[in-house]
């Protein structure tokens, strides 16, 4: 992997990640951009104990542009985009409309490929491995920023999720605090450790799932399963079999196997709604919308979670779709949005069975 860092016309950082070591990246951003002005502010909710990012400047962000005006495609001729070069393998750059900025953290965009009509599932294993390298490198770099406590790499796919740019891409949020979801995991981890005399909760969950009926696929170094208490209609958790706190902790064997396992998972998600008689249950529907979210240990101190260290946390990816059946979405209505109590219409055991049925 070759890494080349440069600056866009408004001063934002852009980084090329290339498969070839001899690739030269010297294209200049020719757009007449003024420096980006953001109004991001993090406010603490004293009743719930969580935080909310207030970012009014995001109201003006790019919204469903035509394909020939996509800002994530390479620059060609007089059509200038966020990527100054005429091609790229993987690119990461500071978001022009960030939810978090300055002392409130940082937001980045990750473009998986220059092919506008592709998807992550359509990448080769070599390309997927390069994306993993980029995620890992950015996790390392962002963790050293004084305002950053947790790094979150994720992909939103599909208009149903709320994606406003169709180009295959993801994002990285660098939070100035430990996120509420991670804090819940750490509290459960601490309580289980105390109650069992030192047993690791993540290890126990993985061991239980691997012995059960919800395993979707399993490699030598990775395992994917639908969790016992899945919140979403089709939800898969992907764990390395050797517990590590973050992407930096993965050994070479796990990094090598990851693209094959992950690409197979994504391709199965795109086949979930095919019917078994050869016809299309969801004929005319868009590809399966999903969110893919990496959970990594915070880089700050964990003093409030007594008895727990970073090494107790288990890196894992959670992949889920909001589509519950053909033509029907899972909406977060009264119980979910009002009380954070999820109601799942698809039994996790049935979801796991379906994801095994659609194996390539």
Positions annotated as catalytic residues are: 169
Give the helix/strand (H/E) hosting 17. strand 13-18
Helices (H) and strands (E) in the chain, counts: 6, 15
210's torsion region: left (phi>0), alpha (psi -120 to 50) or beta?
alpha
Determine how β-strand 323-325 pairs with β-strand 316-321.
unpaired
Q: Name the nearest CA neighbour of 262 among 231, 294, 285.
A: 294
C-beta separation of 120 from 156 below 8 A: no
SS3 of 143-186: the string is HCCCCCCEEEEEEEECHHHCCCCCCCEEEEEEECCCCHHHHHHH
C-beta separation of 269 from 319 below 8 A: yes
Distance CA 196, CA 307 (A): 13
Residues 6+ apart with CB under 8 A from 313: 185, 186, 189, 202, 245, 296, 297
Distance CA 94, CA 149 (A): 18
C-beta separation of 264 from 217 below 8 A: yes
Residue 9 gets which letter from DSSP? Answer: T
Q: Does residue 110 sit in helix, strand or coil? A: strand
Instruction: Give me the count of residues in the chain.
Output: 360
- DSSP per position, 283-297: TTPPSPPEEEEEE--
């Amino acid at each position: 992997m070759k890494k080349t860092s440069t600056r866009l016309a408004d001063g934002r950082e852009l980084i090329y990640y290339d498969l070839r070591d001899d690739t030269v990246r010297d294209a200049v951003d020719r757009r007449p951009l003024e420096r980006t002005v953001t109004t991001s502010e993090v406010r603490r909710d004293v009743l719930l104990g969580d935080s909310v990012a207030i970012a009014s400047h995001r109201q003006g962000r790019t919204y469903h542009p035509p394909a020939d005006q996509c800002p994530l495609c390479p620059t060609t001729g007089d059509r200038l985009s966020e990527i100054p070069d005429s091609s790229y393998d993987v690119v990461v750059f500071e978001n022009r409309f960030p939810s978090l900025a300055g002392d409130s953290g940082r937001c980045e965009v990750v473009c998986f490929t220059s092919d506008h009509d592709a998807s992550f599932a359509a990448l080769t294993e070599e390309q997927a491995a390069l994306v993993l390298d980029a995620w890992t490198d950015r996790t390392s770099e962002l963790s050293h920023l004084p305002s950053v406590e947790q790094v979150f790499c994720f992909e939103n796919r599909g208009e149903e999720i709320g994606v406003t740019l169709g180009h295959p891409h993801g994002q990285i949020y660098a939070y100035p605090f430990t996120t509420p979801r991670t804090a819940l995991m750490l509290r459960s981890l601490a309580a289980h450790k105390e109650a069992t005399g030192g047993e690791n909760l993540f290890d126990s969950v993985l061991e239980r799932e691997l012995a059960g009926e919800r395993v979707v696929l399993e490699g030598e170094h990775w395992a994917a399963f639908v969790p016992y208490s899945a919140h979403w209609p089709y939800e898969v958790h992907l764990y390395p079999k050797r517990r590590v706190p973050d992407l930096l902790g993965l050994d070479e064997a796990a990094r090598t196997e990851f693209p094959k396992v992950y690409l197979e998972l994504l391709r199965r998600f795109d086949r979930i709604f095919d019917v078994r008689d050869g016809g299309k249950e969801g004929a005319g529907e868009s590809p399966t919308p999903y969110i893919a979210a990496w959970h990594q240990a915070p880089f700050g101190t964990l003093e409030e979670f007594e008895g727990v260290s970073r090494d107790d946390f288990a890196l894992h990816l959670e992949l889920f779709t909001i589509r519950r059946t053909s033509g029907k979405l899972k909406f977060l209505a009264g119980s979910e949005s009002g009380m954070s109590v999820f109601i799942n219409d698809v039994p996790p055991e049935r979801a796991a069975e379906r994801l095994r049925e659609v194996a390539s």
